[in-house]
Structures are given as structure tokens and as C-alpha cells.
Chain A
Amino acid sequence: MVDVSLTAALSDIGEHTIAPSRSRGYWATVRCNLRRDPRAVGGGLVLLLLVIGVVGAPLIAPADPYHASILARLKPIGTPGHLLGTDELGRDMLSRLLYGGQSTFLMGVAPVLIAFLIGGTLGLVAGYGGGAINMMIMRAMDVLYAFPSVLLAVALSGALGSGIGNAMLALTLVFIAPIARVAESAATEISHLDFVDAARASGASAVTVVRVHVLGHVLGPVIVYASSLSSLGIVLAAGLSFLGLGVIPPRPDWGLMLSTLRQSIYIQPMIAALPGVLIFLTSISLNMVSDALRDATMVKK
């Protein structure tokens, strides 16, 4: 299933080491590596275009995404006045696709960011705190982990009911546990090293030790992992709307459009497939960038 990145990235994260600080510093090295990676440049460029189109929809969109016309239903791609044709209610596809990305992006990426903050903090506390704190936090995470992510997302938003807010809440809960796991294992690894002990012995408070010594080493792997989750986030967010659990019609959304246009695959198959093309492009670009980021933050042996 889509759970893809969960396992794939987890197995990679374990091997993460931090670049020895050269003259230009760690993040500068990473940036330099990224700039030379075709996956990062290509994926990043596609993402940039998509974001510009989606965010700038009010400026770019040629028509009102809600304006329906019975006479202009399911016009093919390339119809004058409707560059990408029209949907089953005669609404301009290009405009709907531009606007539709807004909810898909919001529902897919915001939960990853929120889960990054919550899960990252939980993992950091668990990894650095160790002992009983670790036990409590990580066992709680195990429970969330017992569900396949699609199932958990569907279960939570299915129970809460449709709506963007509920879908985002469900996705956030889905992503907290895996992010906490990655943060925890990185934090545990670092917390047992001598220099952390030395910092503690010299009288630094827990907050200072975490902020100065632990955080930097945990951030890298967690950011890489979260970036791979954002691809899953987009696919799941559109998937929830596809099931009728996310965005409520008539609001345009890639997942919802894919679902309503499904009835039209015999009349206009190309148009019916269009929203999915954009979901796929977004997801694959995010994965490319994430892969490049992972390689860039790893030191070649």
C-alpha cells in the first residue's frame, strides 16, 4: 500500500551519520550536495511549479472554478476557452485543478509538519529521558503503530466524519508515531555518547544539553524522514477526499475530483485521469527530493 515510505525510510535512517564538520559546516555541505543531485533539482523544480500554480490560482485561473454550465459538460482537452476541458458539470478543469491543489496540499503537508513538531518532541524526550519515560511514550506509540497507516487514517476520519479539519487531525495522528520512532532512535543513540555525558557532568541542564548537543543530530534524520512522509501525506489526503472523507463538494480537490469524474471514464477518460496525474507528480517529486536529501545528509563511506 501507500505505506511505502514508512518502512523504506525507517531502514535507511538507522545508518545515518552526521558529516564531519568541514570548514563550511554541515548544512552548507548538504545544500551543496543537493544542488548537484538531478533528483533534487528536477523534483524541486516540478514542486515549485505546482506550488506556484496552486498558491497563485486566484491570479492564474482562467475561470471561476464553481461556474457550472449544462451546455459545456465534459468538453475534451483543448476546447477553446477550456484548455484542459470541462468536468461533468461543465466547470473549467484547469481552474478547478489549480484551486483543487490548495486543499490537497494543505491536507497532505500540514499534518506532516504538525506531527513533525509533536512526534519529534515526543521522540526527543523519550530518547534523551530513557528509562520509564521512554517506556511510556514509546509503548503508547506502539499502539498507533499497530494499525496500517491507510487503515488508521480511514478509521479516524471515518469516525470523525468528513471535513478538511477532521481529515487533517486523522493524518496528524497517523504520522506522529512513525516520526517519534525515528526521533527516538536517533536521540537514544546520541544520548549515550561520551560528549553528552560530559556536557551533563559539567552541570548543563537537560534543556541545554538537548538544545545544544542532541537536537542537531536528531534533526537531520527526522527532517529526511518527514520529507518522505509528505509524499505519503499527499497521496493519503487525496485518498481520503476520494472516499468522501476529506473535502466536501462543490469545493475543488484533486482527490474528490478524481472520485466524481470516475463516472465519466467512458466519455472523457483523459479528463477523468487528470487530477490523479497531478497527485502523482506531486508525490513522485516529493519522493525524489526526499531521496536526494537522504543521500545528501549521509556521508559516503
Chain B
Amino acid sequence: MLYVLRRILYTVPIALSVTVICFLLVHIAPGDPLQMMLPDNATPEAVSELKAKYGLDKPLPVQYLVWLGHVAHGDLGTSISTGRGVADELSAAIGNTAIIATGGAMLGFLMGIGLGLVSGLCADTFVDRAATTIAIAAISVPHYWLAIVMTIIFAVELNWLPAIGIGPGGVSLSWEDLSHIVLPVLTLSLIPMGIVARTVRGKVVELMAMEFIQTLRAKGLRSFGILRHVVKNAAPSVMAVMGLQLGYLFGGSILVETVFNWPGVGFLMSNAILRRDMPMLQGAILILALLFVVLNLIVDLLQTTIDPRIRRRG
């Protein structure tokens, strides 16, 4: 319990520093945000009036606290390009990002665990070498290019699946809607597959060489029983990697969503970059980074529930 509390408390300064960085992002941006709102011939009085209205005349730390207060109340400002609230735009998009990120993660984890187990159990055979090569290729692939290649194969050449966008019914179980999800999910699944496969393989090879496995085998346990022990012992570290990967899929959604015009947070970010819509960019980054921090916390806590030894190390 003490560990859990300490770990949660440790998250607070990290989350706060994330907000500081997100706040500062707007200030390292070149160009004055006010210039976009004012006509070119604005009088100095009009400028200072607008500055006062948005609190831009106060010192930075004060501005930060004011901003943080707004954020805490769910107010992330107004998008410059659409004129709508950033928080509204984001809450509409985050679900779409979650669908393809978790879908891609689950598929990737399943394939990765399978690939890693096979490759670890047949270590240094032809099967292992093939599986390792697949994993390294999956890790190296620039996924925005993979997204384009998938589109070319399945949408342009075969014409089986739609190339871009989300189905008319959003996310549902009808084929028309599901077909839009297939390519983004497939694209996103490859990298977690490669990472998990490598982690599982490493763990399995390491565990199979350990004495307790040899004892089990000497005791007459069959391979299935041994596998159970291996899986149990490999689970905590594999889970940690999977948790991180899920967070990366959320955070890295921008490139794949851009290719597929998938209306998630990444797509909003990519449009915000093109239009230099700083409030939007800032809000999207803040949400994704905080999500990543929370996800890390959950993974850590889950990990210690499975493997209490970690608590003592911490």
C-alpha cells in the first residue's frame, strides 16, 4: 500500500512538469498569437487592450497558473482555425484514437506473444531466425510508409477496403464501418508485434536456461507444464513493455491518422500544425502526454500486483 501511494505521489510532479512544458510550447513558438486576431493597422492601445484581456501582460508564472486553472476546469482554449473549443474537439476525437490504438495494440500483442514464444522455444533454429527477422523488420518499418503501402495494396490495387476516413456510422459492428478500421489497426499492430516478440523471445530464452526450469523438467513435467511456468515468470516484464507500447500508439497516432485521414487526436494535431493553430496543438499534446503518464502509472501498479518483488526494489 505504501508503495502504491508513493508511486502515485511520484506521478504528481511529473504530470505538473508535463503541463509546464505544454504551456511553454506556445511561448517558444515564433510569431505573436495576437497578430492573427488583430488587423494589421491595429493601434498600440488596441494591442495592449487585447493583451490585458487574455492576460498576456502578466509575468509568465502568473500566466501559467491562470492557464493551469483553466485546464483544471476542462477549458483548453479555442481553436484558431475552427473557432470551436479545443476540449470539445479533443473529446470527440480521443475515442477514435483509442479505437485504433487499442485495436492495433491488442492485435500486435497477440501476434507478438505468439511469435516470441515460438522463436524463444525454438531458439537458434531456422524458425527462430525467420521469426527474429520478421520482428526486426516490423520494428524498423516507417509506419507512415507502411500505411501508404497498405492503402496501395488493399484500397488501390485490390479495392477491398476504403483508403481513408471513418465509416458513416462512426465505429460500429457493421462491415461498412469496420472496413475503415482494418487498415489503421493492421498498420499500428506491426511495431508492438515486433517489440513484444523480441521481449518475449529474450525472456523465454533467459528463463529456459534457469535452474528451476531444468528442475521441473527433471521432475518429469511435460512441455506444456513448463510453458505455464515460463509464461508466469515472463508476464511482468512483458506487461511493462506492452503498457509502454500502448502509450506510444496513442502518442504516435499522428502519422498513421494523417495518412488514413482518421478523425482522431493525431489528425487534429496534424491539421493544427498545418494551420499553426497553437491552442489546438497544445491541447492535443497535453492530453496525449497526460494519458501516457497515467498509463505508465497503471502499468507500474499492475506489475507490482503480479510480481510483489518489484515493490521491495523500488
Residues of A within 8 A of B (CB): 1-5, 7-8, 11-12, 139, 142-143, 146-151, 154-156, 158-161, 231, 235, 238-239, 242-245, 258, 262, 265-266, 269, 272-273, 275-277, 279-280, 283-284, 286-288, 291
Contact B152 A273 (CB under 8 A): yes
B148 contacts the other chain (CB 8 A) = yes
Q: Once the chains are docked, how many angstroms separate the CA of A266 from the CA of B281?
A: 31
Contact A11 B241 (CB under 8 A): yes
Q: Once the chains are docked, how many angstroms separate the CA of A277 from the CA of B146?
A: 10
- Which residues from A are CB-within-8-Å of B221? none
Residues of B within 8 A of A (CB): 13-15, 17-18, 21-22, 25-26, 28-30, 136-137, 139-146, 148-149, 151-152, 156-157, 191, 194-195, 198-199, 202, 237, 241, 244-245, 247-252, 254-255, 258-259, 269-270, 272-274, 276, 278, 281, 285, 288-289, 292-293, 296
> Least Cβ distance of B36 to chain A in Å?
14
- Which residues from B are CB-within-8-Å of A149? 248, 251
Considering the complex, give the chain A residue whose CB is closest to the CB of B276: A161
Q: B interface, by DSSP: helix, strand, loop or mixed?
A: helix
- Which residues from B are CB-within-8-Å of A287? 136, 139-140
Contact A150 B255 (CB under 8 A): yes
Considering the complex, give the chain A residue whose CB is closest to the CB of B136: A287
> Least Cβ distance of B106 to chain A in Å?
15
Contact B274 A244 (CB under 8 A): yes
- Which residues from B are CB-within-8-Å of A5? 139
> Least Cβ distance of B299 to chain A in Å?
12
Known: A2-B252, A291-B136. A7 touches B293 (CB 8 A): no
> Least Cβ distance of B57 to chain A in Å?
22
> A159's contact among B14, B28, B141, B252, by CB below 8 Å, is which?
B28
> Least Cβ distance of A134 to chain B in Å?
16
Contact B141 A280 (CB under 8 A): yes
Contact A147 B292 (CB under 8 A): yes
- Which residues from A are CB-within-8-Å of B269? 154, 158
Known: A160-B28, A161-B30, A276-B145. A148 touches B250 (CB 8 A): yes
Q: Once the chains are docked, how many angstroms separate the CA of A239 from the CA of B21?
A: 22
Q: A interface, by DSSP: helix, strand, loop or mixed?
A: helix
Contact B142 A265 (CB under 8 A): no
Q: Once the chains are docked, how many angstroms separate the CA of A97 from the CA of B18?
A: 38
10 contacts between A and B (CB under 8 A): A2-B248, A4-B191, A146-B296, A148-B289, A155-B25, A159-B26, A265-B151, A273-B152, A276-B146, A286-B140
- Which residues from A are CB-within-8-Å of B272? 158
Q: Once the chains are docked, how many angstroms separate the CA of A4 from the CA of B197?
A: 12
Q: Once the chains are docked, how many angstroms separate the CA of A184 from the CA of B124?
A: 33
Q: Once the chains are docked, how many angstroms separate the CA of A284 from the CA of B134?
A: 11
Q: Once the chains are docked, how many angstroms separate the CA of A149 from the CA of B252?
A: 8
> Least Cβ distance of B90 to chain A in Å?
14
> B289's contact among A146, A239, A244, A276, by CB below 8 Å, is which?
A146
Known: A2-B191, A142-B14. A242 touches B281 (CB 8 A): no
* 7 nearest A-B residue pairs (beta carbon): A276-B145, A1-B252, A148-B251, A1-B248, A284-B140, A151-B251, A150-B252
Considering the complex, give the chain B residue whose CB is closest to the CB of A234: B142
> Least Cβ distance of B182 to chain A in Å?
18
> Least Cβ distance of A103 to chain B in Å?
15
> B144's contact among A4, A160, A242, A277, by CB below 8 Å, is which?
A242
Most buried by A among B136, B145, B146, B273: B145
Q: Once the chains are docked, how many angstroms separate the CA of A192 from the CA of B264?
A: 48
> A243's contact among B245, B258, B278, by CB below 8 Å, is which?
B258
